[in-house]
């Protein structure tokens, strides 16, 4: 199932009475998006969930947008064709930008296989003056396939799933992510610490 985007007409952007700076000052935190990308079973959702928990326990407002979860609602009309994957990421980028603008930390966990789509998400944030931190959850396909918690790789090998990233559809790895984590070489706690260290060093938290 595909979706086409139609440009809206007769709309006007309505400014509120609270500036981003005032909101950040009142809430005592800055907003940003932390964008996890990686193969299915790369560990990105596991690390993203642990990071969300860690930040919340520190009193930092964070919310995780998960690839599968979003497809139950916001993106339930999208399939996995290249066009639908692009639209999937476009919508998520827009939603995460809204979270970041509200001074929350948006944590997205999506395969987001195409470099151009991730760059579009980054550009959207950049143009809005919002930080965008790309986290590459990196594992060899063989490792991801050996984990296969949902049995998706097995189905893809059997031809039951078409256009499966890493098997029958491409994954374009980030060339220069802010954070690069080999999730097969680090524990979840170590991965979270690596991200938190980066956020602290750059004064995001």
Q: Two tokens at 156? A: 């893809």
Q: Which of 49, 102, 112, 142 is catalytic?
A: 112
Rounded distance between C-alpha atoms, residue 93 and residue 65, angstroms:
10
Helix (H) or strand (E) holding 80: none
Helix, coil or strand: residue 144: helix
Burial class of 183 by CB neighbour count within 10 A (0 to 12, 13 to 18, 19+): buried
Which residues partner with 180 through β-bridges?
A: 136
Alpha helices per DSSP H over the chain: 20-27, 44-57, 67-70, 82-101, 115-127, 141-147, 152-157, 188-201
Tokens 């066009």 found at? 83
Nearest to 3 by CA among 96, 113, 89, 112: 89
62 forms beta bridges with: 105
Residue 111: count other Cβ atoms within 10 Å of its Cβ.
Answer: 23
Active site (annotated) includes residue 102 = no
Catalytic residues: 112
């Amino acid at each position: 199932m595909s979706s086409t985007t139609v440009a809206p007409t007769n709309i006007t952007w309505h400014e509120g009475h609270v500036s981003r700076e005032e909101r950040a000052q009142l809430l005592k935190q800055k907003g940003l998006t932390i964008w996890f990308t990686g193969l299915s079973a790369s560990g990105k959702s596991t690390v993203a969930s642990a990071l969300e928990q860690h930040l919340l326990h520190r009193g930092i407002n964070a919310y995780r947008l998960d690839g599968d979860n979003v497809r139950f609602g916001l993106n339930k009309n999208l399939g996995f064709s290249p066009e639908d994957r692009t639209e999937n990421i476009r919508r998520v980028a827009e939603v995460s930008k809204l979270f970041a603008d509200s001074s929350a930390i948006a944590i997205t966990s999506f395969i987001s296989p195409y470099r151009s789509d991730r760059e579009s998400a980054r550009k959207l944030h950049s143009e809005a003056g919002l930080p965008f931190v790309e986290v590459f959850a990196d594992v060899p396909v063989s490792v991801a396939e050996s984990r296969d918690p949902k049995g998706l790789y097995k189905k893809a090998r059997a031809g039951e799933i078409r256009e499966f990233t890493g098997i029958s559809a491409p994954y374009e790895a980030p060339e220069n992510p802010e954070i690069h984590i080999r999730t097969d070489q680090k524990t979840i706690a170590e991965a979270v610490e690596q991200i938190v260290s980066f956020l602290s060093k750059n004064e995001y938290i």
